[in-house]
Chain A
Amino acid sequence: MPDNPGLLGGATDPATGAPAPSTGVGGSTAPVEAMPSPESFVDTSVAAVAARSQGRAILRRFLRHRLAMASLVLFVAILLLDEIGSRLWPYTYSQLTDALNSGPTGGHPFGTDGVGHDMFAQVMRASLTSIELSLVVAAVSMVIGVAIGALAGYYRSWPEAFLMRFTDLILTIPILAILLVLSRQAARHAGSWLFIGLIIGFVIWTSVARLVRGALLSLRERDFIEAARALGAGDGRIILRHLLPNAVGPIIVNTTLSVATAILLESTLSFLGLGVQPPQTSLGLLISQNQGAATTEWWLFAFPAIFLVVIVLCVNFIGDGLRDAFDPRQTRVRA
């Protein structure tokens, strides 16, 4: 959007841009309004340009949400540590060092495991894998769930019957059974987090779909939808611009929850030997491998677990901030 010329351009445009009937209204007084005293001109134009952009208003509300911003900073810091830190660190995640079963020391701040893996390198690698995987899961499950839920909730009748029975079908099959069958196919792509992420995403969209359908069933009967239709809005516009923005809250909350679910599901798969395969590693894999050592060699279990908790919390708080940012009625600033 052009920033400063907004008002000047706007004042002259109705005469040329709008068809005949509107010039009488749009053209007559707009130039008068657009030319107040010089300083108020600057003030109102900047304020108006900033305020009229829906996206900027959302960004501004998000930036004011302190907990979400702190979480975002921490989340990015973890990502950077994983990406850059692992290159600078003297050990790689698959390298075997001479120190065996060493507790946290200066050289190995997170200790080492029984075969000499440096845990710091492993945790960095593992959290990167888990973050990437869970973001893929969140994106896939959100896109599929929102699409199916929105179509079912808006169109009702046979599309709803078909889509929701299909959703029920996916729900009734034990999730682990689907994962096991699908990830057998993954043997070829062994250890590919992308493939595993896609598989998990294709399985856990059902809750988003049911949630979105439920939200739309109630929203579609609201007066402002009828009003939008009376103004000439079509189905696509009503779904994308009027219904879904009003359902953003439940969608985001559910998606952030699915991030945590994805990390845990992946660890289950890894535990069964069908997820991420060693020497590749993930937080779920590290935790399931080392949970027996929680009381004896605590560093093997504690550090991956702390990273897992911090990442999941960050994602949830960021989601919280996003939800508040999308809701204009939410005006109080969170601590």
Chain B
Amino acid sequence: MDDALFSDDAPLLEVSDLSVTFSSEDGLVRAVRGVSFTLEPGRLLSVVGESGSGKSVTAMALLGLLPRSAQVAGSAKFRGMELLGRPDREMMAVRGAEIAMIFQDPMTSLNPVYSVGWQLVEAIQAHQEIDKDAAWDRAVHLLDTVGIPEARQRAAGYPHEFSGGMRQRVVIAMAMANDPDVIIADEPTTALDVTVQAQVLEALRTAQEVTHAAIILITHDLGVVAGLADDVMVMYAGKAVERGTVEDIFYWPRMPYTKGLLGSLPRLDASGDERLRPIPGVPPSLANMPPGCPFMPRCPISRPNCAEDEPVLRPVVGGGHLAACHYAEEVSPGDELFAPISSDAEVVE
């Protein structure tokens, strides 16, 4: 990589007004509609949202991995170097070396015909001038770091000989292979059993300690967010609707949608007969979006003007806490906005 392209005082990753549009039979699908955030070294930013809220598309846009039919606008600067619209040849030097990616499904993201050691060696040699034996030793060391037992023997094994959790650790080891500055993990635990999720997250945390990389963790598991994240960005319908530190978001969410997400989780500290409070309705279609706040039809505190102007992400109560709601100040931690789920069992009783 040409070091002259980077500047030291620029932020590690600065995304501003990123938007991605796909054309489909139903017209233009605006998958991401103006997302901005800054990633600082060593921080873990968690991107939360429902399926289809644009989380993964945002990540793929950063690495230039979207299909050519996608129209990407806005800006994403890595150490001051613009990533969007860079030719593929130059992006190849960034992928894996500066920004690495961990995919959702470990069962399919390893090549079935090569041993995991071979795949690690390939990842290492793609960006480093290093001979095969040294690369192999480094591969074994990486496997050891992410918690693969007997790494030297296991390195010769093939992906089908590994369990899902072990494979995801191998994938994490591959992402660490070139000491990237940013690791993007796209729902790394979604495809795994709950019991191995914790181990994989531990491996991810180790990866961060070893490489000092900043991590973008895409997930819809709020438990994972609470345990790992420094900062949280909540996405809805292609936009960031709330952003803040993990404490801001969990203790005093300011956007009704975030509040709904948190309220729909079972809580250990609640009394046993309390019911979950789901968010009614479904997210809007990203093609032909109506004007106004996209959450308005599902929102319990919406007012007529919500249907006309879409709220922008703005600071609430100072600090770094941002929310995109006209009435963010009215949302308080104590109130429950959504009704508890009703159940047939209750009727029978």
Contact = CB atoms under 8 A, between A and B. Distances in A.
Interface of A: 1-2, 6-7, 9-11, 13-14, 17-19, 21-22, 25-26, 29-30, 33-34, 44, 47-48, 51-52, 54, 57, 222-224, 226-234, 237, 241-242, 245-246, 248, 326-329
Contact of A17 (B97, B105, B131): B131
A232 B105 contact: no
B137 A7 contact: yes
Contact of A231 (B89, B114, B126, B144): B126
A33 B141 contact: yes
Contacts, number: 160
B348 interface: no
A47 B153 contact: yes
B210 interface: yes
Interface in B104-161: 105, 108-115, 117-118, 121-123, 126-134, 136-138, 140-142, 144-145, 152-153, 155-156, 158, 160
Interface residues of B, number: 57
B109 A223 contact: yes
The A interface, classified by DSSP as helix, strand, loop or mixed, is helix
Contacts of A7: 133, 137
Interface stretch (B171-179, B231-239, B305-313): B171-179
The B interface, classified by DSSP as helix, strand, loop or mixed, is helix
21 contacts: A11-B137, A13-B133, A13-B137, A19-B129, A22-B178, A33-B152, A44-B153, A47-B156, A52-B115, A52-B117, A223-B109, A226-B65, A226-B109, A227-B171, A228-B111, A231-B100, A231-B126, A232-B92, A232-B95, A328-B113, A329-B160
A13 B136 CA distance: 11
Given A11-B137, A47-B153, A328-B158, A232 B126 contact: yes
B93 interface: yes
Interface in B53-84: 63, 65
- The 3 A-B residue pairs with the shortest CB-CB distance in the complex, in nearest-first order: A51-B156, A13-B134, A232-B96
A52 B156 contact: yes
A54 B130 contact: no
A14 B155 CA distance: 18
Interface of B: 63, 65, 89, 92-97, 100-101, 103, 105, 108-115, 117-118, 121-123, 126-134, 136-138, 140-142, 144-145, 152-153, 155-156, 158, 160, 171, 174, 176-179, 210-211
A48 B160 contact: no
B138 A328 contact: no
Nearest to A8: B133
Nearest to B108: A223
A226 B105 CA distance: 12
A224 B130 CA distance: 24
Contact of B141 (A30, A51, A222): A30
A28 to B, nearest CB: 9
B137 A30 contact: yes
A1 B133 CA distance: 9
Given A6-B133, A13-B134, 5 more contacts: A17-B134, A51-B156, A52-B118, A224-B110, A246-B112
Given A229-B65, A231-B100, A245-B113, A29 B134 contact: no
